[in-house]
Amino acid sequence: MKVCVLIPNKEYATQAGVRIRYQRIFSVVGLEGINLSVIPIQDITAVSDLDSDIYIISKCYDARAIYLANLLKGKKCVGVDIFDDYFSQIDDSRFTRLRLWLSELATVVDFAMCATPAMISVIRKYNSSLPVHVLNDPAPIGWDDVNIRKTLAAKLVYARKEKTIKLGWFGMGDNPNFPVGLRDLAAFSDDLLLLKGRGYHVDLSVLTNARAMTPDNLKRLARLPVDYRMDIWSEEKEQELLEDSLICFLPVNAQNFSIMKSLNRGITALVSGTQILSAGFPLYEPLSRFVYKDAIKFITDLDSGKLLLCEERLMEFDALIREVACSEREGEKFTLFLQNRAETNSGVVEKDEFIAVLHGMQTVGDVHKFAQRLGGLSISTPFCQTNLNFDIRFEIDKESKELEMLIAEKKLQLLPDELRNKAVPCGRIIDRNYYKVLKIYNAADTPLIRTGSVFTNVACYNEVIATLKSVMESTFPGIKIACSELSKSAWWIDVNRPSTGAKV
């Protein structure tokens, strides 16, 4: 069985979401008869490329995901992974676009995946009957007791002999929408202060992404109560930091975005033979037997030479990792879930239908090209500011103020005979295509007509898009519509809203 994970771009393949979650189970699922691949969604250039049995959409937060899910509905098994919580903040208008994206996608896909049980409740708010699989972040493949024993002993001897605590912090240092990363490190720095003045020098190493190294963040770190050095994260440097650090400091704030995170960093640190000091929200509670919540307790244990993660407790630790982060176990559960989903959806084939993308205020050419490459229609609305070679344009006639549908001549054959016979020449060339015109005679009472050709006010946005969606549905019976809108201010169409009944 071929399983394809679709990601937004090739750069995303190096991020933890793919590097840890999927790549660590590649070898395991291969033994179970699954050929797992990860490709950028932009690499799909034709329907013939869609030769996998199951597709998993990962962080493709635009209309291409909705288009593809509609295209494959009933033909392939399609799921979405929701490993970051941008969807539970219902009072935050910044995420309206993403909430509506998931609202629409959740009604089309066959399953969802997430990294924590807490995320199940978030997903179920968008589709209460959608099957959801929790894929725990697996531990690195190849870790073993022998290496940890050597590492634990060496780190303990160094710390006590040199009276130095090598402390590490690693991860994404920022997020465009939430105060996380380096801001958490600074906010919980009182815990670091507790490590000082107790007979040890504290030496902090910070690894993070270059984007997070802003003047504001550097000012915050300058106020840390311990000496620190900073470097740009890489997988190799992370491994070096973990090999060198006695303990990692992993603070977590209590906002929804943070508390839905997986155990990834904690597991990665522990299996490398590194202690953990956590502060704030108890994200790492499943690992609590090996996690320090009290800096003073850590110092006491260091003085006695008996740390939480030690040689005497490695059997207990091994059992815990096999329970919460075993790559073999997670791979087997992942495989079984996908096999069940494929069997459930087998034999259910829907008829081929038109799929179209309506472009709103802010869209991108990649969505336009994607729809056309896969045989769909790309449609410009009066809000659209992008000048592309659209298949259909909705425009307002400057004199009559009537709404017009301009159709590329090469697409006229898609119209029913009755409507095709009504089309008249456009009289001008647009983007090298000859268009013909259908007038939307009965749409005169909509806000689209009342506002004329002025579309700077988005108050009428939702109703206008609903009207155009209705027009397309009456023009092309059975068509499926996806809206391409990246603006945070514009409201997407409510997919559960009744049709306006507008016709051509």
Domain span including residue 198? 145-325
Pair (382, 475) in one structural domain: yes
Across all residues in the chain, what is the average pLDDT? 87
Neighbours of 160 (CB within 10 A): 15
Pair (204, 118) in one structural domain: no
Pair (289, 397) in one structural domain: no
Asked if residue 241 belongs to a domain, the reply is: yes
In sequence order, the 6+-apart residues with CB closer than 8 A to the CB of 323 are none
pLDDT value of position 454: 46
CATH of the domain at 195: 3.40.50
Q: Quick: pLDDT tens for 39-93.
A: 999 999 999 999 999 999 999 999 999 999 999 998 999 999 999 999 999 888 8
Stretch among 223-237, 340-354, 451-465 having the lowest mean pLDDT: 451-465
Domain count, the chain: 3
Torsion of CA 460, 465, 468, 473, to 10 degrees: -140
Q: Quick: pLDDT tens for 109-152.
A: 999 999 999 999 999 999 999 999 999 988 877 677 778 999 99
Pair (150, 134) in one structural domain: no
Q: Quick: pLDDT tens for 183-208.
A: 999 999 999 999 998 999 999 999 99
Pair (62, 210) in one structural domain: no
How many residues are present in the chain? 504
Distance between CA atoms of residues 468 and 398, nearest Å: 18
Distance between CA atoms of residues 115 and 21, nearest Å: 9
Asked if residue 97 belongs to a domain, the reply is: yes
368 versus 396: which is more confidently predicted? Answer: 368
For 182-198, b where at least 16 C-beta lie within 10 A, e where not — what string?
A: bbbbbebbebbeebeeb
Q: Quick: pLDDT tens for 423-479.
A: 888 877 776 677 887 776 544 455 454 444 444 456 778 878 888 888 888 888 889
pLDDT value of position 477: 82
Asked if residue 499 belongs to a domain, the reply is: no
Pair (83, 62) in one structural domain: yes
Q: What angle do CA 53, 36, 15 make, to 5 degrees?
A: 125
CATH of the domain at 110: 3.40.50.2000
pLDDT value of position 426: 80
Asked if residue 287 belongs to a domain, the reply is: yes
Average pLDDT estimate for 10-24: 80
Pair (108, 157) in one structural domain: no
